[in-house]
């Protein structure tokens, strides 16, 4: 018995944005529109990893500097940042570190310091880079250069 033939994707389907609904929100965030902060944070919390998602997240972290965030929103973003330490080093990691420096509190800094002694070497390295950014942008950029 032969297997059913699956329809092939059109080549342009591979280049479609992973979540088309996020692109308008990113454009509005760039303008400083606080109404889109909730879907943006939800997108970061889902940690979508698909074609083009790194570019979207990189822009999001840069554009988040343009809006005033509530305490709860800042806390959620700090939680997302801790998740970045435990997962992977991706293109949006460094813009995230620059952003998170502005909303870090003592508790967050202590958590990052604790992760610097992690048994996982990659998580430990990401925590050390983030800790450097928390001290200063200059130290963070130096740590980034030493990474490669």
Q: Which residues contact 45 (CB under 8 A, 6 or more apart)?
A: 76, 79, 80
Distances (CA, A) of 68 to 23, 45, 63, 84: 20, 19, 11, 22
pLDDT value of position 15: 54
pTM here is 0.83
Interior/surface letters 27-51, b for 16+ CB within 10 angstroms, e for the rest: ebbeeeeeebbebbbebbeeeeeee
Quick one: average pLDDT of 96-101?
A: 97
| Coil/strand/helix, residue 96 | helix
Average pLDDT over the chain reads 88
CA 40, CA 103: separation in Å to the nearest integer? Answer: 17
Q: What is the pLDDT of residues 132-144, one digit of tens each?
A: 999 999 999 999 9
**Nearest 5°: CA angle at 123, between 72 and 102?**
35
Proportion of the chain above pLDDT 70, given as a percent: 86
Closest CA to 63 of 95, 29, 97, 104: 29
Give yes or no for residue 10 having a pLDDT over 60. no
pLDDT tens per residue across span 20-31: 678 899 999 999
Structure tokens at 132: 């450097």
pLDDT in tens, 15-66: 555 556 788 999 999 999 999 999 999 999 998 777 778 899 999 999 999 9
Provide the pLDDT for residue 138.
96
């Amino acid at each position: 018995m032969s297997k059913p033939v699956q329809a092939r994707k059109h080549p342009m389907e591979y280049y479609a944005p992973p979540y088309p609904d996020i692109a308008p929100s990113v454009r509005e965030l760039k303008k400083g529109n606080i109404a889109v902060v909730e879907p943006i944070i939800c997108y970061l919390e889902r940690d979508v990893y698909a074609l083009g998602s790194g570019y979207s997240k990189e822009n999001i972290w840069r554009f988040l500097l343009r809006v005033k965030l509530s305490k709860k929103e800042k806390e959620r973003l700090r939680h997302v940042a801790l998740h970045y330490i435990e997962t992977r080093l991706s293109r949006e990691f460094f813009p995230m570190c620059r952003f998170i420096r502005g909303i870090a509190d003592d508790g967050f800094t202590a958590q990052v310091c604790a992760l610097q002694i992690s048994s996982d070497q990659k998580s430990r390295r990401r925590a050390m880079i983030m800790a450097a950014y928390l001290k200063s942008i200059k130290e963070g950029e130096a740590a980034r250069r030493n990474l490669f």
